[in-house]
Amino acid sequence: MKQAEPSTCPSLLHFLLVRGVLIWGGLTTLLVTVWQVVFEHQSLADTLHTSLILYPPAGLLVGLLQWWQTRKYGRRR
């Protein structure tokens, strides 16, 4: 398959910060924190602290992988 044209692919910074850190990292942090507080009766502060350390930085990798896939395979509509 051919690579997507650079003009049709959002920037790397967009994928890293918006799709990776904000969307994936933020939603994962929220879901894991709620799950652990409600169902496992853990402290909100401790769980939120741990989740914020782990998931948003991992979102950088998720954003990078999404950017790479979009560049490699192009957008499918």
**Helical residues (DSSP H) of the chain, grouped into ranges:** 12-14, 26-39, 44-73
For the segment 3-60, what is each residue's pLDDT rounded down to a tens digit? Answer: 555 555 679 999 999 999 999 999 999 999 999 999 999 999 999 999 999 999 999 9
Confidence of residue 74 (pLDDT cuts 50, 70, 90): confident
Whether the CB-CB separation of 59 and 18 falls below 8 Å is answered with no
| Sequence ranges of the domains in the chain | 11-72
Confidence of residue 75 (pLDDT cuts 50, 70, 90): low
Q: How confident is the model at residue 10, as a pLDDT?
A: 78
Whether the model clears a pTM of 0.85, i.e. scores above it, the answer is no
Q: How confident is the model at residue 20, as a pLDDT?
A: 96
